[in-house]
Structure 1
Amino acid sequence: MNWQLQTAKNRLSEVVKAAKTQGMQIITVRGKAEVAMISLEDLRRMRRAGKPFGKSWWESAPKVDLAIERSRETGRDVDLR
C-alpha cells in the first residue's frame, strides 16, 4: 500500500501494523515513492536468505503500481468583494 508522507506521519501506528500484517508499505513524498517500511521479521528473513540486503529486499518486494492519481479539484470559489 502507498501512504503519502503526511498521512503516514499522522497514522504511524496504522502504517506499522500494516507493515507487520500486510507486508511492505511505500511512503511517497510529492507523489514519488521515497521509502518503504517493512516488519522486523521480514528484515530478519531477508538477512537469513544470505543475499546482500539491498538485492534481497528488492527481489522480495511486492510489485506495486506506483501511479498516484491526484484530485483535479481546484477548491471553492471565493467572492473577494
Structure 2
Amino acid sequence: MRAMERDGLVTRTAYDENPPRIEYEPTTLGRRPLRLVEVARAWSRDHLPTLLAARAAYDDSPAGNRPDPHGT
C-alpha cells in the first residue's frame, strides 16, 4: 500500500485512535485502472459460455488429450 501511495494511486489517512486505524482511498489516478477491470469483467461475463464451450471441445478433442509439456 505504501508503494501505491508513493505512486499516487491511493491516499493514506492515519487516525490517532486506540487501536490505530488507517484508511486508504483510491485517488483519481488510482480509480482509472478500475475502469479497465470493469471492461474485462464485462467481456468475461459476456463470453464465459463461449469460452467454457471451447474449453470443453478442446478437452474432448485428440489435441486436448495430449500431455501438457509445461505440467499446467
TM-score (norm: length of structure 2): 0.30
Larger % of helix: which? 2
Instruction: Indicate the structure (1 or 2) with the bigger Cα radius of gyration.
Output: 2
TM-score (norm: length of structure 1): 0.28
RCO comparison, higher one (Cα < 8 Å, 6+): 1
